[in-house]
Each structure stands twice: as structure tokens, then as C-alpha cells.
Structure 1
């Protein structure tokens, strides 16, 4: 008779099973929802059950409102989820994504306390997404204060409408932040008035990945944002030309200390003199390679790695268009001298032929200066020759097709 299959025994000292931990988490989450008279989030419930079936820990929590309001009239709340993470000491959650909810003051207050605990929290969360949510001024102010002390690496506030006062509440917690490296505020209604404040935040924080697509910065707002970054890049390049790598394929040396940087040239010179350099480890870049690189950069200063400004009404029309020439000079300066910049998206902005020609010449100067390659996206509403030349000089995708191994007979 054939032998019965022997069950595989877990080695001594093996990690505990995932299933009981997630089952207990789901039960506790259900209990807190009942106690707070709120509805369980269908996405979290589904993801937990899926993780149990796959026997894998859940690292990303998606909090969305219930799709069928007829089934449950109770609202979905953030509080039961945070209370469950705390009670179960669930230390593996890295991302919390909140989509399309009306966040109340108690919810934001608990979230703020959760973020402020830093190293003492049971959940060292690195990414927070608040997309298309509504918050009042008090909630934004409380969230802004918590951002000063959080351990977040990436903050997403897409589709949340911000006026001048609302924006100030958030930015107050971003300045002097030495941990946050990525900020996304796409389609948030940001106008030209937000440009100087964005430039100040970038100059005094560690943010090096910025997504601002779908706003209304126009020429003046974009110019105010880019001016300190471009001035710093030019001054750094002139003072320390050896920062650029002689080989385009190698990452550049990056600043280790940059204190008190601002948009004025004198302060930039001062900060660049105290600059020291370190080589980043060379890792194979795969999916999400830009984000992997950004995670290693934590130095404050007016420099950027990834900048997305698509669809921001940057063109030569109206009174704003009078600053297009100066904006072009600033853009070309940034392209020619920045050793950090890897990606620049200016798509769906009608810059015109003159600005496009300036960008093309800056890319050529960057290549002749042996700076790292840069991916630039512009609108095709320019001459085909200029557009094609910019596309050819821009960084191409690193992904290559793997050759299939020949099977030996």
C-alpha cells in the first residue's frame, strides 16, 4: 500500500500562524463597530478575509464608504479601525487609505494621536492617503500639528479641496519635517497663491517627491515653487561640480546636511558650503524604482527628485502669461543643474515653442554636463521635431524584456 502523505511539521521557533491573528483582528474590528454604532468597512472586511485565505498579513487598509446604502444605514468610521490596531497591537500595517468619507473631529483627533505616538505606536505607519474627503478647519489644524511628529514617509491628499486658510493648516505641519519624503496634492484647487508656500515647504523639509497635477498654479505659482529649487541647484553645481556622477547610469552623490536653506542666493551659498556628500547604495531598480530611491533620501533642503505639474494652466495667455519667459529660464536652470531631479511632468500645459526649445537645449546641456538622465514630459502641442527631440533625450524606461532561456532537449 502507498504511504500516506506525512504532514509537514513547522520547525521549532517558527513564526506564529497568520490566520488566528487576522481572525482575532476581524472579530475585534466587528466588536468596535458594533459598540460605536458604525458599519464595518466592506473593503477592510473583504481584504481581511482574503488575507486569511492566502495566509498573509494585511499591510494596507482601505477605508471606503459602503457601496449599498440600502443594506446598512450606519456610516463607516475610522475610529473602530484605529482602536482595533491599538488593541491587537497590529504592528504590520504600513498604509491607511481613506477614500470619499466625511471625517469628523473625533476621527481626526484619534488619527492625530495615532500619528503622534511615533516610535511608541503599535503601528509604524509610513503612508497615509486621505482622498476626496471632507474636513473642517479644526480637523485640518489638528492633522497639521500631528504631521510635525509623525513618522510618515508619504502623504496623499488628492481631491481634497483647499483654500488659503485650509492649506496653511496643513503646511504648518510640513515645514521642518525631516521624515516626510513624498507629498501628493492632485486636484486640490491650488491656485497661484499657493506657489510661494509650496516653495517654502520644499525648502525647509525633506520632501523630494511632489505631485501637484490638476491644480491651477499657472505661471506665477509655478515660478514661486521652482525658484528656490532652481537657485539651489545652480549654486550647488557651481560650488561643487564633482557632485555629478561621470556615468549616467550611476546615482549621484546626495547632500547629507542642508540647514536653513531658502530662496535667497546668499543663504543657498551658505548652505552649500556646509554640504557633505555620501554615495547611495546601488540597488537594482524594479517596479516602483523611483519610490525606492526616494525612501533613502531624508535630507532637508530646496531640492526635488520627482515633480509632477501636469494640467496646471501653465501657458502664455492672460496676465499670468507675462511670466512665462521668466518661468522658462527657471525651468531650464533646474534641468541643466539639478543633480537630484529624475522626473519632471509638464504635460497638458501649453508652454509654446519658445519654452519647449529652451527645455530641449537644457536637456542637451544636461547630457553634455554628464548629469544623471532626466525623464521630461511635455504636451505634444509643439512642433513635431522639438517634441521628438525632447522625447529622445528624456530618460527611457529601464524595463527590458527578459530573454527566454532555451530549453535543452
Structure 2
């Protein structure tokens, strides 16, 4: 704590250097105490930022397969302990790769993420890549994310059962600030479509990456149905509103001009204030909606036309009517020539702005 207090007295680059040196020293100490293997990549990042005299905002904890011996194993505990001891609150991105995390590791990580502690750690991106999490860990992580600052969550290569996925998504992630969720190569089957769809009906997730799974036509259909139906309904409502507005504009508006002129000055002030509020506190639109959807390599094919046809209908509805959707990746799936033509036609209609 002495190092942290001395750093607080410094300013700018000097304080950053002192903090980083204290962090690495504390990390090495905890590695020795817990018989853990220090991360050489973390040391390189710290030394590089010391040279630049900048705080370290992105931490990557990764160990090559041939680094640890039979007696010295890598661990997450020393890093979490060092961050807490030094109260290092500058980390915004935390990447943990290929670690077998135990329940105590997840508990300590969640306590660091949650905003209920005395010291707040504003981590906005969390990546647990191939970390072998069991069902209990996934549910505990979902609850922690709910009360954290995390907006991007990546759990690629983490094998999940149906109970594990439900625990993660329904245990609190739906009420979190997460905008981007990546579950690539997680062993998700057709059963996951309904679970993922239930998340979108009550969450703020805008980007979903589920490449390399096995949703197949059935799972993808269950996932996209609420998104497509909502997009079509919103488009119909918007067009109806525009039609009513156009009819109203045909009526005389002389009585309105004077009131508009009287309110113009006051309205200008309110508009500026409203814009400032929206910029600092962006609101999320209600209902299921999506900006990016990557469903690459999910065993979607035309071997069963009865299942592919309704899926393609939903995809085309989503493409035509969802103004939010900007990216759709269906690579390494086999939708056939007919499916390709339908998708192309929906893209043309989206571009042309088809009315109902």
C-alpha cells in the first residue's frame, strides 16, 4: 500500500510508472506465495507501458502450452490479488486465455467485477477464452456481469451445456449492460436457439457471435423468430405513422405557426439539453433487436428443405425490415441456390426501401 500511496502523490507519467512497478512486484510476490507460474506476456506489457510512461489498460493473461512445469502451474489468483492489493483501477480490458478456472477463481473474479465493493474496477471488456467453466461458474459469472461495467463479453471455446447457458444468460446477463456477446465454438446445439431468443426479448445485446456451433436450421429458426417478427411489426407501425403524418400535413397549418414561433426559443434550449443527456446516457430501444449477427459454420444446410425454408423466410424478413442490422455472416452454411436468390432479393428490397 505504501507504493500506491506514493504513486498518488506523483503526477502524470511518474505516477503511472510507480503504479506499474508496484503491480508487477506484487504479482511476482503472489506467484511465489501460491506456487504459480508468472505470465511473461503480462511482464512484457507492463515493461512496455513503463517505457511509454502510460498506465496499463489492457491485461492479457496467457500461458504457452510448454511454459508450466509439473510443479509450477499458471493461476489467475496472483493477478487478482495484486490488482486488489495495489487498488489498480485502470484496467478496462481483461483477457484470460486457456486457464482451467476453479470455483474460487470465479468467485474472486466476480467480486472484482461487481460494483458493490469498496474499490470499483471499471472493466468493460472481459474475455475468457477456452477456460473450462462449469455450470455453477457460468451462472455466477452471469450474476456478476449484471452489476458490473462490462459491455463486451467473450466466452469463445468454452464448452456449455444447456443448464450452463441458461445459468449464464438468464441468471442476470439479460439485465446487464452487455452490448456484445461472443459464444463461438461453445458446443451449442439446436436446443440453444430458444435460450438465446429468450435473452433478446429482455436484454440490450446488440451484437451476437455464435460461429462454429451446431444450431442447425431448427435452432437458428428459434433464435431469429422473435427478432424477425419484432422488426416486421416495427416497420409496419412506422409506415402507418408516416402515412397518418402525411395526411395531417395536408390540413391548414396557419394556427400552428404562431404557437411554433412562440415556442421556438424555449424549444431550442430544451433540445440542446436533451441532446447532451442522450449523449451521456444513451438509451436502449425496447424489444429484441440486433446490429451484428455472426452465425458462421452452424450446420445450416438444404438437406432438409422443410426446415431451411422457414429459416430463410425469417432471415429475409430480418434483412428487409430491420434497420438496425448492419452485419450478417452466414458463411460455411449451405443455404442452396434458392436460398441465395431469396437472400439477394431481400437485400435489393432493403436497398430500395420497400413499403408494405
Q: Helix, strand or coil: the match of 2:27?
A: helix
**Moved runs in structure 1, 4+ residues, more than 6 A?**
none
Q: Tell me what 1:249 maps to.
A: none
CA deviations on 1:123-175 (whole Å, 9 max, x unpaired) are 20001101111122322222222222222101001011112122122112355
Paired residues of 2:13 and 2:54 also in contact (CA < 8 A): no
Q: Return the match for 2:287 from 297, 301, 326.
A: 301
Please identify which structure carries the higher helix content. 2
CA deviations on 1:308-348 (whole Å, 9 max, x unpaired) are 01111111114xx4211111111111011001001000111
Whole-angstrom CA distance in 2 between matches of 1:71 and 1:167: 33
Q: Show structure 1 runs of 5+ residues with no match.
A: 1-12, 245-278, 282-292, 372-409
Q: Tell me what 1:269 maps to.
A: none
Shift of residue 78, structure 1, vs aligned partner: 1.2
Paired residues of 2:115 and 2:121 also in contact (CA < 8 A): no
Q: Return the match for 1:330 from 291, 308, 314.
A: 314
Q: Show structure 2 runs of 5+ residues with no match.
A: 1-9, 243-273
Q: Tell me what 2:212 maps to.
A: 214
Paired residues of 2:60 and 2:95 also in contact (CA < 8 A): yes
Query: Structure 1 length as normaliser, TM-score?
Result: 0.71
Q: Tell me what 1:224 maps to.
A: 222
CA deviations on 1:207-244 (whole Å, 9 max, x unpaired) are 01000111111111111111101111111111123999
Q: Return the match for 1:40 from 38, 41, 45.
A: 38
Paired residues of 1:207 and 1:300 also in contact (CA < 8 A): no
**In the alignment, does 2:90 pair up with 1:92?**
yes
Q: Tell me what 2:18 maps to.
A: 20
Q: Helix, strand or coil: the match of 1:192?
A: coil
Counting matched residue pairs gives 311
Q: Helix, strand or coil: the match of 1:96?
A: strand
Paired residues of 2:113 and 2:121 also in contact (CA < 8 A): no
Paired residues of 2:139 and 2:168 also in contact (CA < 8 A): yes
Query: Structure 2 length as normaliser, TM-score?
Result: 0.81
Shift of residue 68, structure 1, vs aligned partner: 3.6
Q: Could you say if the C-alpha distance between residues 70 and 213 of structure 1 is closer, same or farther in structure 2, counting changes exceeding 3 Å?
A: closer
**In the alignment, does 2:66 pair up with 1:75?**
no
Whole-angstrom CA distance in 2 between matches of 1:280 and 1:369: 28
Shift of residue 118, structure 1, vs aligned partner: 5.7
Q: Tell me what 2:27 maps to.
A: 29
CA RMSD of aligned residues (A): 2.6
Q: Return the match for 1:366 from 345, 350, 354.
A: 350
